[in-house]
Amino acid sequence: MPVAHISGSAAGERVLESAQYISQHSKDVFVPEEGVRRAAQEIVERMQSVGYSTAEWRKHTLNPSVADSAAIEWIFVVDALNFSFWTDKSGSPHKQYTVTLDGHAYRGYWTLCAAINRAEREGVPMTDPAFYSRMSLDDLAHVFRADDPAIQEPIPLLARRLQVLHEIGRVLQDKYSGRFANAVELCRGSAQRLVELVVRDFPCFRDEHRYGGRAVQLYKRAQILVADIWACFEGKASGWFYDIDQITMFADYRVPQALCHFGALSYSPRLADFLRRSERAVALHGEAAVAACPPEAGLLPSGHEWEVEIRGNSIWAVERIRQHILASGAHVNAILIDFYLWDYAKEHPESMRSVPIHLTRSIFY
């Protein structure tokens, strides 16, 4: 099916318009202009001092080291499963779900990459849709097993991850001869067309919600899928997209923490109080017990207006930071600002501790 017929404004424009709308109507999350200005200055200085660029992407040990079609299939599976790694054991790392590879114990998002790489080494073809579209729950539990038997906690949302693999594997075989590289080729260098194709053909990427009486699109995983391909290929060959700068920040639960740390995002007292209470309750009583509580004392349900406000304002804050950096004469896009903030949060966990994350179980981020 030709991609060109996809109608409506480009996905990235719809995400940015949604983010601006959310920010304009938010009651509990704000993008302080003074914080944005300070954050822009600090971020661009830090990025320039380390020469932050797409080259960082392949430096991550677990990311593909070669930019080829196998890397595209790896990125597709990883970003289809790139969601919900937070745990109620964060306070006690020795019990937290970890995957050890080459002697290094990975947590959070990196457990996903480590598990996929470990499986591939064991001859489990986790980037082959003919295989993963027919996996059983036991097969997947083995792929995502914690190597330390003392760790009872499985990777969150295991059954949902299996559903995602079955869905994307079936569509990829039916429509793109089993290769996501074919879908990339069809979009002829347009990042927006590729995001549109992904949210049209792969329902698990449809990160769409209702807020303030209308539909809003956040498309976090569809956009980071395109961004990871762009970064892996350093903007060349299959990673060349003439409209890559229209991709926005990826609305997850980690970058908002970094944005708050830099002062570019802030929460109302009642929201900040809720987030702290929710985090404390989950650490003390465990997720299952807290999930059974009424919303005002429990987790933040997917689609809740506070969740949408945190995610939408995070996108808008990065856009404002990007505009400030552009005005200063430097060139950077929302992807590199996002990657920088995410890496910063992971490299400075102690700085992040004072800012709570929002605890929502979702397959969207």
Ligand X SMILES: Nc1nc2c(c(CN[C@H]3C=C[C@H](O)[C@@H]3O)cn2[C@@H]2O[C@H](COP(=O)(O)O)[C@@H](O)[C@H]2O)c(=O)[nH]1
Amino acid letter, 325: I
Least separation in angstroms between CB 107 and ligand X: 7
Rounding to the nearest 10 degrees, give the CA dihedral for residues 353, 78, 321, 60.
70
Least separation in angstroms between CB 63 and ligand X: 6
State how far the Cα of 163 lies from the Cα of 263, in Å rounded to an integer.
38
By the 10 Å C-beta count (0-12 exposed, 13-18 middle, 19+ buried), 177 is classed as exposed
Least separation in angstroms between CB 258 and ligand X: 9
Name which of 172 and 251 has its Cβ closer to ligand X: 251
Catalytic-role residue among 79, 88, 207, 252: 252
Least separation in angstroms between CB 329 and ligand X: 25
Token pair for 328: 């200063």
CA angle 208, 305, 259 (to 5 degrees): 90
Q: Is 252 among the catalytic positions? A: yes
Least separation in angstroms between CB 231 and ligand X: 6
Contacts of 187 (CB under 8 A, 6+ apart): 3, 193, 194, 197
State how far the Cα of 217 lies from the Cα of 211, in Å rounded to an integer.
10
Which residues are at the interface with ligand X (CB under 6 A)?
Answer: 56-57, 60, 63, 82-83, 85-86, 108-109, 250, 252-255, 338-339, 342-343, 365
Cβ contact 357:88 at 8 Å: no
Contacts of 335 (CB under 8 A, 6+ apart): 227, 230, 231, 244, 247, 249
- What is the end-to-end Cα distance of the chain in Å, rounded? 28
Place of tokens 């598990």: 115
280 three-state secondary structure: helix
Least separation in angstroms between CB 262 and ligand X: 14
State how far the Cα of 299 lies from the Cα of 279, in Å rounded to an integer.
9
Helical packing angle, 33-50 and 305-327, nearest 10°: 60
Cβ contact 46:96 at 8 Å: no
Name which of 51 and 329 has its Cβ closer to ligand X: 51
**Catalytic center residues:** 252
